[in-house]
Amino acid sequence: MGLLDRVGSPADLRTLSASQVRALAAEIRGFLVDQVSRTGGHLGPNLGVVELTLGLHRVFESPRDTLVFDTGHQAYVHKLLTGRQDFSRLRRSGGLSGYPSRAESAHDVVENSHASTALSWADGIARANAIAGRTDRHVVAVVGDGALTGGMSWEALNNIADGADRRLVVVVNDNGRSYAPTIGGLAQHLDALRTTRGYETVLSWGRSALKRSGPPGRLAYEALHGLKKGIKDVVAPQAMFEDLGLKYVGPVDGHDTAAVEFALRRARAYGGPVIVHVITEKGRGYTPAEQDVADRFHAVGQIHPETGLPVAPSRFGWTGVFADEIVRIGTRRPDVVALTAAMLQPVGLAPFAERFPDRTFDVGIAEQHAVTTAAGMAYAGLHPVVAVYATFLNRAVDQVLMDVALHRAGVTFVLDRAGLTGDDGASHNGMWDLALLGVVPGLRLAAPRDEDTLRDALRTAVDVDDAPTVVRYPKGALTEPLPAVDEVDGVDVLARHDGAPGARSVLVCGVGAMARTGLALADLLAAHGLRVTVVDPRWVLPVPAALVKLVGEHDHAVTVEDGVREGGIGSAVAQRVRDAGLATPVQTFGVPRSFLAHATRDKLLTALRLTPGDIAADVLAALRSAG
Q: What are the residue numbers of the active site?
A: 282, 367, 395
Separation CA 366–CA 414 (nearest Å): 16
Of the candidates 481, 470, 385, 401, the one whose C-alpha atom is nearest the C-alpha of residue 441 is: 401
Q: How far is CA 498 from CA 334, 485, 534, in A?
A: 49, 14, 12
Under 8 Å CB-to-CB from 325, ≥6 apart: which residues?
A: 454, 455, 458, 459
Contact, 510 vs 449, CB < 8 A?
yes
Annotated binding site for Mg(2+): 145, 175
* Number of Cβ within a 10 Å radius of residue 358: 7
CA atoms within a 13 Å half-sphere pointing along the CA-CB vector of 75: 32
DSSP secondary structure string for all residues of 136-189: T--EEEEEETTGGGSHHHHHHHHHHTT-TT--EEEEEEE-SBSSSB--SHHHHH
Separation CA 581–CA 459 (nearest Å): 35
Of the candidates 403, 530, 56, 35, the one whose C-alpha atom is nearest the C-alpha of residue 257 is: 56
Annotated binding site: 73, 113-115, 145-147, 175, 286, 367
Q: How far is CA 505 from CA 530, 553, 623, in A?
A: 6, 9, 10
Separation CA 283–CA 462 (nearest Å): 38
Chain mean position to CA 547: 34
DSSP secondary structure string for all residues of 318-377: HHHHHHHHHHHHHHH-TTEEEEESS-TTTTT-HHHHHH-GGGEEE--S-HHHHHHHHHHH
Q: What is the largest CA-CA distance in the chain?
A: 95
Separation CA 35–CA 89 (nearest Å): 9
Q: How far is CA 522 from CA 212, 502, 613, 622, in A?
A: 77, 17, 10, 15
Residue 345 identity (one-letter amino acid) = Q
Strands 556-564 and 531-536: unpaired
Q: How far is CA 225 from CA 197, 250, 624, in A?
A: 16, 9, 79
Under 8 Å CB-to-CB from 401, ≥6 apart: which residues?
A: 439, 440
Torsion angles phi and psi, residue 610, rounded to 5 = -110, 25
Contact, 25 vs 48, CB < 8 A?
no
Annotated binding site for thiamine diphosphate: 73, 113-115, 146-147, 175, 286, 367
Residue 431 identity (one-letter amino acid) = M
Separation CA 335–CA 329 (nearest Å): 10
Torsion angles phi and psi, residue 69, rounded to 5 = -105, 135
